[in-house]
Structures are given as C-alpha cells and as structure tokens.
Amino acid sequence: MEKFERLISTAVPLPTENIDTDQIIPARFLKATDKKGFGDNVFKDWRYHKDGSINTDFVLNNSRYSGSVLVAGNNFGCGSSREHAAWALAGYGFKVIISSFFADIFKGNALNNGILPIQVSEDYLQTLLKLITEDPDTNVDIDLQNQVLQIVGKTVVEKFEIDSYKKVCLLNGYDDIDYLLSNKDKIIAYEQEHQF
Amino acid sequence: MAKTLFDKVWDKHVVDTIHDGPQIIYIDKHLIHEVTSPQAFNELSERNIPVFRPQQIVATADHNTPTVDQHLPVKDALSRNQLKQLTENCNTNNIELYGLGHEYNGIVHVIGPELGITQPGMTIVCGDSHTSTHGAFGTIAFGIGTSQVAQVFASQCLLMNKPKKLRVNVNGKLRKGVLPKDVILYIIAKLGTNSGTGYFCEYAGNVFEEMSMEGRMTVCNMSIEMGARGGMIAPDETTFEYVKGKKFAPKDAEFDKKVAYWKTLKTDEDAVFDLEYSFEAEDIEPMITYGTNPGMGIKISEAIPSYNDASFEKSLAYMNFQKGEKLLNKPINYVFIGSCTNSRIEDFRVAASYIQGKQKAPNVNAWLVPGSQQVAKKIKEEGLDEIFTAAGFKLRQPGCSACLAMNDDKIPEGEYCVSTSNRNFEGRQGQGARTILASPLIAASTAVAGKIINVLEESSTLELV
C-alpha cells in the first residue's frame, strides 16, 4: 500500500448526502477480476447520460474543479460493501475524502487502499463546501502525522480523528495482512483452545 | 459484568487486543462469491500466502449468474470469466463451491442458513454487506471489503474495533398483513440510513421472539440499511428447531451440547446498551419506499413528506414523485420477488396465497426468483409453482438477479419496480430504474392489480397472512 503523510491539493465539492457505493461504482462494472480500470467508471451514471453523452451539470465534468480531495455530503459510502468503490475513487485520483459522516464498511475499505477518510463537523463541512465551490483554487492542506486539516491561507486549523493503528499503517504503507500473519502463533493457540 | 448477546459472542472470539488499537477477531465461517473474491485470491497468490483454513470457507455463485437457462454457458463473457475464476480459485485452494447447477447453489445468505452452515454464537463474514442476515441466529455476521476477504483467507481473522451496542425493541401485536419486511422498513424509516453506523444492533421484544427464522433473517438482512454493520436476535427454541437436522448442523449428542451453550446467548437483564429505541407493533402498517435510500419509507396509505432539502429533492426528481403525493393507485409495470431479503419459501408462500385464484395484471412483468435450488425445490413440492403458472407468472432460477441487476435482469430506464429487495438506490435495478421496496405481499398484490394497492383494505387478504 502507498504511504500517506501529507497532501496539499485543490478539492472537488460534491454536497449530495447519502452517496451510496452503487453511485460511486455501479454494479455492472463489478465484473473485473483485478483492481485496475475502475477509475474510468467512478460515478459513471452521474458523469454520463444513458446515451453516453457527458452530463455537464456534474462536478467532475466541470473543468473549474479538480484535485485529489473529494468533499462530499453526509453519510458518504453507504450501501454495498464493494471495495470496488474505493478502487474507483483511488483510480480516478482521489487520495482524501472529507465528509461529515462515513459508512463503516466504506471507511475501512478506503483505509485499506491508502485513501484517507476525514470526518469533520457538519458546520465545517458546509464552510469548506462553500469555500471550494466559490473559489476552485482553494487549497486544502492535510497533515496526517499531526491529524490536522487546514485551508491554505486561513488560520483556522481543524483537528481530525483517526484510529492510531490505522494511522501507523497509512504513514508507513503497511496493511493488515502483514500484521495478522505476524500473529499466526496466537491464532493457532486460540484455535486449539476454542475447538471449533 | 452484565453482557449483551453481542458481547458474549464477540468476547469469545477475541484472539488478542492491540494496545490502543483494534482487536484480532477469529472468524468461524467465511462465505465467498464470484464478485468480491477474485482480487483477494490474486492478492494472496501475488504475495505467496496460502489460504489458512479452506475448510472454514464456503463458496457460491450468485451475484452475476443468469436466472434462465443455467444449464447453458453464461452468455456474458465478463460474468463467465468471473465464474470461471471462482471455480479455479476454489479448486486450487480446496474450497467447497456450490456453483451453478449444484443442488445447494443459491444466494449466499439463503444457502448458509438452509444448509446449517450458519449456527448460533458463530462469527461469519462475507464480502457482501447483507451478511448481517445470519445475525438472525444470534451470530455476529457482517459484510467486509475485499482487502478483508484476503485477510480472512490469510489468517482466518480480522482486525476490528469493537462496535458500540444498539438495541431496537418492538413489542405488541402486529396487524394482519404486516410482515417482517414491513417491520424493518418501518424501523429504518423511523431511524434513518445512518442511525446504526458504528453499532451492532440487537432486535428484541415479543415481535421478534414470535417471528419465524425466515422473518428474522429478513429483519437482520436490512440492518446495514440503517448503517449498522450487523443485527442479531437471541437464539431460542425457534432457532434450535430450525437448525436441527440441517445438512451441516451438529448431530445427536453434539447438537444437544451445542444447544446447551446456545441457550446462554442472551443479553443479561442488567446489560447496558449505548443506544436503545422502542417501537410499538400496532403502529406498523405495510410499508413502501418513495425515494432513493431505504430510509425514505412510508406506510402504504400515507403521502410522501415535504422537506426542503436538496438531497431529498434530488431523490424525488429521480423517482419522478412529488412532495405530498400518495403512491396508492400508482401504475406499476415491474415486480420483483427475490433477493437475500425475501426469496425464501415463506416469501413465496405469502405471494402464492395472495395470488391463488387471481391473475397477473397484463401490464406487469413479474420476476419471481427463488433464493436457492433448495427453495425452488420446495416451491415445486408444495405446488406453489402451479399457482404461479395458473396466474400467469413464471418462476426463474436462483440468484441475486434484479436486486442489483448485474446479470440481464434489469428494470428498464424510467420504469417503477415494486421490489422485495433491500436497496432503492439510483440505478440499483438497472440504469434509470426506479425501485419501490416492499414486502412480498405488497409485491404480489401490485403484480395482480397492476398498481399499488392497500391490501389491508381487502378483507380476503387478511385471512391469508
């Protein structure tokens, strides 16, 4: 997994609430057997009309907005457990998702793919959405080591929470498999004690 | 210290606790299917890690399988490839696979319980968010991402932070015609789609105690639709009776020993939940959804609420509904009875008992998709297929089908579908399709009437359910 330490980037505003993983990557694109190529189909049915023409109203098709930070409405990533949603967002180039609330499974999937989900207060989210919508050149500075988020040029600093274990994983590019395998002895001992 | 049902099962599965971090949780059963497993197998083979406990894994093909002509090669090349990979991966790693055509094939959350793979007190995971279904047995069962599928392959464990505890109580007497699906749609409509996020939910109260196992599965299945990773119901005589005699259930003395343990899996009286809600059964009516998430539900006789909120309005625009509109008498051309929520024998019994002696409306395309080969077999044995055929319905073959429309079972753009599935997200049943979630009784009555009707007003219906 790629390391994540610090990121300064412009951001894309997507204020819609309850964005489910079916919107992030529709089920018909889940037939691949590797992790590549999902970025092309991220938010497919919001980016394109059914006839294949571009939906110019959708923010990802608006050339004013770009960057590797997505700022999204409350309850981002609800619904299906498909990790393809995280692969699609990462494939498109997003490294950080900011929202006022994340669905559990999505949050875990994001972290397991080097994407940092940052939960902020609803008030802060609305302020941030307004700022980046009005001025697409606004840069957001995300410092994982210090767990702070700052809008470049503004003095207000927003602290964010992250599980300390997951933080170590992201900073170093470790994944859970390495950790679990290093505990094989304990797992075998558990099995012997709790005969299944 | 007093413990909840969840605590008791969780604590028994803790292998180790990382200081100031997650716990290593042991997983008893791992269910896999073709869509969320291939990348996990690749991950292991790239890193040269063997599958640790293949005998604790069971595989099925369900998500993108066709529901007609299953004896023929799968037409779609990508689906066919995914199914082929599953077969190869299972063969290479000595994993039991109930593939297409196998007598045990079916939707992963239907076959686990019906084969006795699912048992009280277990931890069960699957790369599918509706794994919460198995919580009906008093198991900790939840959906995982593909990275986690790889972790369980490698170690039979997961790193997890213990979720908070939520209890939803429903007491009282359900009205006739109100089914388990209505109970859970009502709860989600009351609490919203993210109320359960970060929690594991226990359903308690006489309504769940009196429910059949299949009804409990319908309820637990949709726990994720309020954000909860899983839902559980304490095992009782109904549970033990259901498990007894199933193919992979413990037998004889071993079964009795297990039952003695399973009986201890109840929340202690003075155990404390982080959050608790209570509802009265009498308040629940048949439910339908009007929006694009499962929390946007109303009683079938009610009008769509009016909120001034951009996301709400976007949702109504997608559905082509107006604020304040009633859905009764809305013409419907598509009906789907199936999915891991409602594709078990009791669901088809309810549908058949309503349909018997009636005819499908000519405008309706109805897809009846059993959850498994075993359910399909029972439908035949009980003569329900004759009732469906006489009424102009045709049964399809088992699979996830139009619940997520990965195969050819897609609802056309702009059409409404009254569906017994679990999600009404935009495009869930096909690009531009509009899903209205409901119980099998409402789905059956819609198929017969060709429009949404209030079955509670039909006295003849109430005799049946």
DSSP B75: S
The letter for the amino acid at B131 is T
B320 CB-near residues (< 8 Å, 6+ apart): B414, B434
* Dist CA B153 CA B157 (whole Å): 8
DSSP B278: E
For residue B361, what pLDDT is reported? 98
Q: Which residue has the tokens 């938010």?
A: A43
The letter for the amino acid at B19 is H
Checking if the pLDDT of A168 tops 80, the result is yes
For residue B458, what pLDDT is reported? 75
For residue A108, what pLDDT is reported? 95
Q: Which residue has the tokens 């193919």?
A: B247
For residue B462, what pLDDT is reported? 52
Provide the token pair at A126.
């609305």
Element housing B123 (H / E): strand B123-126
Mutate to test the interface with A, among B79, B157, B200, B307 (most CBs of A within 10 A): B157
* Dist CA B435 CA B442 (whole Å): 13
- Other CB atoms within 10 A of residue B373 CB: 22
For residue B136, what pLDDT is reported? 98
- Low-confidence spans in chain B with pLDDT less than 70: 459-465
For residue A98, the distance in angstroms to the closest alpha carbon of chain B comes to 17
- The mean pLDDT value of chain A amounts to 95
CB B67 within 8 A of CB B399: yes
CB contacts under 8 A, B 321-380 vs A, are none
- pLDDT tens for A74-105 read 999 999 999 999 999 999 999 999 999 999 99
- pLDDT tens for A62-72 read 999 999 999 99
- Cβ distance of A27 and B156 shorter than 8 Å: no
For residue A1, what pLDDT is reported? 85
CB B186 within 8 A of CB B298: no
Give chain A positions within 8 Å (CB) of B151. Answer: 176-177, 180
DSSP A65: -
φ/ψ of residue B145, rounded to 5: -80, 175
In the three-class reduction of DSSP (H, G, I as helix; E, B as strand; rest coil), residue A152 is classed as coil
Q: Does B38 touch chain A (CB under 8 A)?
A: yes
Q: What is the mean pLDDT of residues A156-166?
A: 93
ipTM of the complex: 0.94
Element housing B275 (H / E): strand B275-280
- Other CB atoms within 10 A of residue A124 CB: 16
In the three-class reduction of DSSP (H, G, I as helix; E, B as strand; rest coil), residue B16 is classed as strand
The letter for the amino acid at A25 is I
Give chain B positions within 8 Å (CB) of A35. Answer: 39
For residue A153, the distance in angstroms to the closest alpha carbon of chain B comes to 30
For residue B459, what pLDDT is reported? 55
Provide the token pair at B353.
């008992």
Burial class of residue A8 (count of CB atoms within 10 Å of its CB; 0-12, 13-18, 19+): middle
In the three-class reduction of DSSP (H, G, I as helix; E, B as strand; rest coil), residue B147 is classed as helix
- The mean pLDDT value of chain B amounts to 96
Q: Which residue has the tokens 């869930």?
A: B428
- Cβ distance of B42 and A33 shorter than 8 Å: yes
Give chain A positions within 8 Å (CB) of B425. Answer: 20, 22-23, 79
Give all strands of the β-sheet with A157-159 in edge-to-edge order.
Answer: A116-119, A96-99, A69-72, A6-14, A139-143, A148-151, A157-159
Checking if the pLDDT of A107 tops 60, the result is yes
Provide the token pair at B310.
């951009």
CB B112 within 8 A of CB B124: yes
* CA angle centred on A64, ends A63 and A70, rounded to 5°: 95
B102 CB-near residues (< 8 Å, 6+ apart): B373
